[in-house]
Structure formats: C-alpha cells, structure tokens
Structure 1
Amino acid sequence: MPHATFSSPDLDAFCGLDGLGLTATGQRIETGQAVLECRVLADDQWCHRCGQAGVPRGTVLRTIVHVPLGWRPTMLQVRVRRYRCPDCCTVWRQDTTAAAASRTKLSRDAVFWALKSVVIDRMSIARVAENLGTAWHTVNDAVLEAGSELLINDPARFEGVRVLGVDEHVWSHTRGGNKYVTVIIDLTPVRDGTGASRLLDMVPGRSKKVLKTWLDQQEQGFRDRIETVAMDGFTGFKTAAAEEIPQAVAVMDPFHVVALAGDALDRCRQRIQQTTCGHRGRSGDPLYGIRRVLRTGADLLTDRQCGRLSSVFAADEHAAVEATWGIYQRIVQAYRNPDRVAAKQQLTAVIQDLAGNVPASLTEVITLGRTLKRRAGDVLAYFDRPGTSNGPTEAINGRLEHLRGTALGFRNLAHYILRSLLDTGGFRPLLHRQMR
C-alpha cells in the first residue's frame, strides 16, 4: 500500500501537461532530447460556425518546445485532430492555445520558465535556448514579449515612486553613434528601507531635453508624487527636474561630490608633475608614487603611508597638491561624520572657504569651489534627506555592465533597453509570487 502522503505516479501532473490541456500517450527518450506524444483533452468537435457535429478528417502533428525534464530538452508532439462540418463545409482543428499561443513554438510553461531563467537566474538567452533545445531568436522573442506583457507594461510599476535617481550610462563602447543613455531609477525602497532600487526606464541620449521629455510623458499624478531627485553634477538634469517637477528637491549625492574633489586633486597632481618633472608620471616619481595614497581617507592611512605623504609634502613645489589634498580630506570627513547636523556644518564651511579668496595658483580648487557654490543647495540637501543617494544608481549601472558581459555585448539599443528592464527592473519578487 502506498504511503498516505503520496499518490500514484502521474506523467501528466509531473510534466505539467494537465495545465496545458494535454495528456501524454507515449514517450521516447533520444540521445539529445525527450519527446512526449500527447493528445488534446478538449473534444472541440462542434462546428465553430453552425454548431453541427463535425466529421473527423485525420490528424496533424504540432511540435511544441516544453520545459526541460531530466536534464534533457523536452518536445511535445501533439496530435491535433481535424474536423469538417458536413453542412457548411467548415474545416477546423482542435484548439491548442491552452498549451501554446497560436503560431509559437514554446509551451506556455516553457515561456514562463525561460522568463524566470532570464529575470531571476540571470541566464543568457543563448544558455536558455540551449537548455530548451531551440533557436536563440525563438527564445528571445518569447521572453521579450512575455516580459513586456507581464512585467514592463504593467501600469502599477510606476505606483508609489517618490524618489528618483538620474544618471548617464554608456551602453555601447564602439565608435560611432550615440553611446549614451539616461537611466531613471526608483530609489524609494532604498529611502524607506524596504528593498533595493530598481530601473524604471532607459532613454537614449543624455541631455536636459531627454529627461524633460521623459518626465513630460508621465502622468501628472506620477510627477506630483516625486519628492526628491538624486543626480550628479550635470546641470541639464537639474534644470529639467526644476521645470517639470518643481516641488521635488534636487540632491547631489556624496559619490559625485567626492568624485569632483578627487578629480580636482588628480588634475592638480598631474599639473604639478608636468611642471616639476616635465613629463607624465612614471615609476619613481614622488607624486606618481602616492597617487593612490592621496585618494585614501586620512583616518585610514597607515603609518607608512603617512610617512610617504609627509616626505612628498615637505617639498615646496608640492604645496599646491598638499592644499588640494586638504580640501579633499575635509569633504570626505564631512560625509563620514555620523552626526548629520555637524556634517552639514563641516561641508558648509568648506564651501564658504572655497568661495573666498583662494590663491590663484590653486586653479583646480577655484574650479571646484565655483561648482560647489553653484550647487550648494543640492549638495547640502543630502543631509536633510537621509538615505537619498545616487549610489544605488551607480550599482545598477554596474549590473547593466554585467548584463552586457553575459550577453557578449548588444548591438540593438531597443533590445538592450528591454533586457535591462527585465534584469534590473525589480521584477524578481513578482515572478517568485507567480511561481507559487
């Protein structure tokens, strides 16, 4: 007697055929695949035009790619019965749309399995196609169509968005054409501490017009809900946001502020290197040897690194580098201060000092000061809105780079945008719920 928690073996249930309106009548195990012979459960013998009982007119085979079973690609050979109406001469076949959409090769379960493999398991289309035993284009078209219908085109995807992140992204590293896109990220889960950021959209180009047009295309309710926009130092993004969502507060996140200071430090070091040595940095040059140490936070320096810095800064010709390094460290320390009020005061003091009488020899510091003074409101707004940072946006950029590597590059931007949305659009929890 079988155990009470088990039922009799059922090939239809095991292979998921009962949910497709099919039943297995035979099987064949081949070297590279498994083949299940099936028939349609629904009778469907009545004429679709007049309702008269049809006369059988033979059968046709429809081959459908199914979910891999037993480490083998699995094919369904469905015997579809044909009928002819004796009154109106209409000819029809049994309906197999429950198993697979019309004029498609993948079963509905196989489409969902492929979508799950791409979105959740982060497999490439090539690997999914190999596991299914079918062509790349067949799988790609099915995944993009199902992903767009079930996930991307869902109107609820934009609900609850209150914090946006905006940044540029290089999607193609080949010469010619526009290689930049603007990525729009939902940072609301990060701000609320409820989850990770997610990609909302990707728009070709990087300009004020690109972001302004995208915001203008959204519903008014969506624009009214936006409270904060995290961005880098590009003025075009700030202007577009100010015109389309004036109630939103622009925040220039710490990553880009520190990057601006670090770039100023690098330019100063390179300028002094050329002035003192007459060439670019080489092994053995004092400034070239400490190029990475200069970018390390002062509280993280080892005794040996401190000694190297002191040795280089002892030379009078390196005074400009030391002064610029000091500004860089003050900015870093302000962001590392756990007291947000005190940190804001520290960074405010830095901006005010750079807006004063800076020696003309510190050209990089002067340029940095002008930028920070112009964007002071955005820079300091970070301390009033904890959790608002473009760091998660940079993280998504990194995931998009990984996607391009997995796919060995993309040539079609529209395809890249769809794949990027499926990969980083935050659909994994939704698919997990649908799988239960």
Structure 2
Amino acid sequence: MLNSTFTEPDLTTFTGLDGLGLTAIGQYLGAAKAEILCHVTTPNPWCRTCGGEGTPRDTVTRRLAHQPFGWRPTVLVIKHRRYRCGHCQRVWREDLSRAAPERQKISRTGLAWALNGLVCQHLSVSRIAEGLGVTWNTANDAVLAEGQRLLIDDPARFSGVKVLGVDEHVWRHTRTGDKYVTVIVDLTAVRDGTGTARLLDMVPGRSKAVFKTWLAGQDDQWKQGIDVVAMDGFTGFKTAAAEELPHAVEVLDPFHVVKLGSEALDQTRQRVQREQHGRRGRKDDPLYKCRRTLTTGLSLATDKQKAKLEDLFTAPEYEPVQLVWSVYQKMVDAYRQPKPEIGRWSN
C-alpha cells in the first residue's frame, strides 16, 4: 500500500487477544509452536459472594490452544491471579470466561477458527488438531460442543425460513452405525439473492420416516410459513413433505436437476456406442473420447473442445447424442442466468 502509516507492533491486537480480555506481555517462538504470555487486561478483585475487596493470594497458569499463525500451533500462557476475600475468606480466580469456556483447552478464537475450517474450508478434524496442537479427541469434542452452542442451541435458528432444503449425506464409511444423515438447510437467502444457505439440522438416517418425524416435531405456525421444499430425487423426502407440508411446493434443487440431465446424456452416449459398435467404448472411439467434453457447459468449453464436438456431430449415427446434449446445454444455461425469468424464458 502506498503512503502507509506504520505503528509500533501490537502483539495483543495481532493475535486477537483484545477480544478475549487478555493482554500479551511476552512471546516464545519455537520451531514446533509459538507461546504467547499474557494476563487479564482488567482485573476484578471484588468478591462475587459478599462484594468485599480481595487480596492477591498467588498466581496460577492456564494454557489454551489458540488460532495458529502460518500453521504453527499457538499456545496462550495465561498468568492470572487468585484472590482471597478479607471478609468471607472466599478464594477465587480471575474470570477467564471471555477467553475460553469453563474447562475448555482451546480459546474462543481457536474454536471459531476450527469451526470455520471444518465447515467452510472442509478441513479434516486431524488437520484442525494439527493446527491447534491438540489431540484428535480434544479437537473433535471442542468442535462438536461449539457447533452445538452456535447452531443447535440457538433459539433463533429457525426464524424466517421460507424455503427448506433437504438432502442426504454419507456420514460414515464403517459397517456400524447409520451410514447416511439427512441434512436440512434454509435456502431462503439463496432464493432471494441475499446470502448463502444456512444449516438447520442433521438427523441420523435417510428415509421418509426420518424427514417426516423431523417435520412433525416443528410447530404448526413455522410449518405454515414454508413455501418451497427443495430436494433430490428421493421419493421418501417428497412423500414426507407432501404429508407434513401440503401447502408447500416440492421442487428438485438445481444440482440434482443438472445431475439427472448429465446421467441421461451419459446413458444415451453408452446406448449409441453399443448400437454402433456392439461393445463398450474404447479409448480410440469418438464417443468415448468426447465423454468429458459432452458434459462441459458450452460457455466454458475451449475452442478445441468445440471443434471436437462439431466433428463428432457431423456423423448422422450420433444424432441422438446431439439431441440430448442440446437439451442438457439448455438446462445448464438456464441455471446460469442471473435472473430466474430469463432462465425460464430460455427453455
């Protein structure tokens, strides 16, 4: 930046400690991790029982994993005092609730970093644990507890939901336990163009009964406010929505609509391949060589890919593939239009 004004380095602000009620007073930078020595910014020596002024008794140390910088694990070494009340003899420590939840080994900033990495950056729990410098179990338990606090325990998370989205997700790859979970999201902001999807809940299993039970557990006023339910092609979700939300419109979400078009195009290509050659495609067969190019959006195709398609469609025996390909391209183009009315008109 031109004409920048530089100030003295501020370790407290750089590491985000001011938001935790802490002040950095020292640092140790090792090859494996960084340690930031800090204390409570505003001490509170007043007794929480009788209100009397306490006398400093001694100093104790609490260590918290913090947000990593440059993937170097960072540890907060917090020196905080213990006080004894001269009136009721009660002993207490300085309040660190702004820095971390009770009995937690990770700071609130570190928890926010871990949750963002898991949800938005698609990091594994192992990668998060490595960045924080803690064990896998510590990271996993902390992320689950923070997600519970921010999502499940939030009383306002169901507010303003008009468009509901439901889909299944493969949760585990082991032989024990439910393989799938039903994911329920709020798509209202996506429809209105004001934001992104918002996760509402995740329920073990994938069936009509799972989604129907979840809907039945919501209050009637909330269900009356749902206008649209977007889902994949699973009939169980459609039946559950029709029974619990009879006034709402059930639609396929764009991803699964395009996926169905892509599958139809691939099936047509394979059928024509067998009819013309009596076998599956091989690497030198024109249809097989174009299998990736056929599912590429025409607006994103290179000149080389377009030329390859033109050469392919000059053969009359490939006319069925060209017909399905043209429908698929119109479908993709419709969803890429900036305005829904233009997309509807283009089809």
- TM-score, normalisation: structure 2: 0.70
* Residue identity matched to 1:33: K
Q: Is the 8 A contact 1:162 1:188 kept in 2?
A: yes
Q: What's the offset of the Cα at 1:60?
A: 1.9
Work out the CA distance in 2 between the residues paired with 1:61 and 1:9.
25
Q: Which residue of 2 aligns with 1:135?
A: 135
Find the partner of 1:333 among 327, 336, 344: 327
Identity of aligned residues (%): 50
RMSD between superposed Cα atoms in Å: 4.6
1:309 aligns with 2:303: no
Work out the CA distance in 1 between the residues paired with 2:100 and 2:176.
42
Q: Which residue of 1 aligns with 2:30?
A: 30
Structure 1 residues 175 and 291: alpha-carbon distance in aligned structure 2, compared to 1, 3 A threshold: farther
* Residue identity matched to 2:90: T
Work out the CA distance in 2 between the residues paired with 1:250 and 1:139.
39
Secondary structure class of the residue paired with 1:158: coil
Q: What's the offset of the Cα at 1:256?
A: 6.3
Work out the CA distance in 2 between the residues paired with 1:308 and 1:146.
60
* Residue identity matched to 1:158: F
Q: What's the offset of the Cα at 1:143?
A: 2.8
Work out the CA distance in 2 between the residues paired with 1:157 and 1:87.
46
Q: What's the offset of the Cα at 1:199?
A: 4.3
Q: Is the 8 A contact 1:21 1:40 kept in 2?
A: yes
> Radius of gyration: which is bigger?
1
Q: Which residue of 2 aligns with 1:79?
A: 79
Q: What's the offset of the Cα at 1:223?
A: 1.7
Q: What's the offset of the Cα at 1:104?
A: 1.6
Q: Which has the higher helix share?
A: 1
Work out the CA distance in 2 between the residues paired with 1:95 and 1:176.
43
Work out the CA distance in 2 between the residues paired with 1:113 and 1:211.
31
* Residue identity matched to 2:149: E
Q: Is the 8 A contact 1:65 1:74 kept in 2?
A: yes
**Which structure 2 segments of 5+ residues have no match?**
299-305, 335-339
Secondary structure class of the residue paired with 1:45: coil
* Residue identity matched to 2:78: V
Work out the CA distance in 1 between the residues paired with 2:60 and 2:243.
62
Q: Which residue of 2 aligns with 1:242?
A: 242
Work out the CA distance in 2 between the residues paired with 1:76 and 1:117.
20
| Bigger RCO of structures 1 and 2 (CA < 8 A, at least 6 apart) | 1
Q: Which residue of 2 aligns with 1:146?
A: 146
Structure 1 residues 166 and 14: alpha-carbon distance in aligned structure 2, compared to 1, 3 A threshold: closer
Q: What's the offset of the Cα at 1:126?
A: 2.7
Secondary structure class of the residue paired with 2:182: strand
Secondary structure class of the residue paired with 2:67: strand
Q: What's the offset of the Cα at 1:10?
A: 4.2
Structure 1 residues 63 and 170: alpha-carbon distance in aligned structure 2, compared to 1, 3 A threshold: closer
Structure 1 residues 194 and 331: alpha-carbon distance in aligned structure 2, compared to 1, 3 A threshold: farther
Q: Which residue of 2 aligns with 1:103?
A: 103
Q: Which residue of 2 aligns with 1:370?
A: none
* Residue identity matched to 2:222: F
Q: Which residue of 2 aligns with 1:157?
A: 157
Structure 1 residues 267 and 203: alpha-carbon distance in aligned structure 2, compared to 1, 3 A threshold: farther
Work out the CA distance in 2 between the residues paired with 1:240 and 1:56.
63
Structure 1 residues 175 and 46: alpha-carbon distance in aligned structure 2, compared to 1, 3 A threshold: closer
Work out the CA distance in 2 between the residues paired with 1:294 and 1:79.
63
Work out the CA distance in 1 between the residues paired with 2:30 and 2:104.
23
Q: Which residue of 2 aligns with 1:375?
A: none
Secondary structure class of the residue paired with 1:157: coil
1:267-286 alignment runs, 5 A limit: 281-282=279-280
1:5-404 alignment runs, 5 A limit: 7-69=7-69, 72-175=72-175, 177-252=177-252, 254-255=257-258, 258=261, 281-282=279-280, 290=287, 301-307=309-315, 309=317, 325=320, 329=323, 333=327, 336=330, 386=344
Q: Is the 8 A contact 2:268 2:324 kept in 1?
A: no
Work out the CA distance in 2 between the residues paired with 1:46 and 1:189.
47
Q: What's the offset of the Cα at 1:217?
A: 1.8
Deviations along 1:392-435, one digit per CA (max 9) or x if unpaired, are xxxxxxxxxxxxxxxxxxxxxxxxxxxxxxxxxxxxxxxxxxxx
Q: Is the 8 A contact 1:186 1:198 kept in 2?
A: yes
Q: Which has the higher strand share?
A: 2
**Which structure 1 segments of 5+ residues have no match?**
311-321, 341-381, 388-436
Secondary structure class of the residue paired with 2:92: strand
Secondary structure class of the residue paired with 1:65: strand
Secondary structure class of the residue paired with 1:128: helix
Q: What's the offset of the Cα at 1:211?
A: 1.9
Q: Is the 8 A contact 1:258 1:332 kept in 2?
A: no
Work out the CA distance in 2 between the residues paired with 1:191 and 1:44.
49
Q: What's the offset of the Cα at 1:226?
A: 2.2
Worse-superposed segment, 189-198 or 140-149: 189-198
Worse-superposed segment, 122-131 or 241-250: 122-131
Work out the CA distance in 2 between the residues paired with 1:221 and 1:71.
47
Q: What's the offset of the Cα at 1:244?
A: 0.9
- TM-score, normalisation: structure 1: 0.58
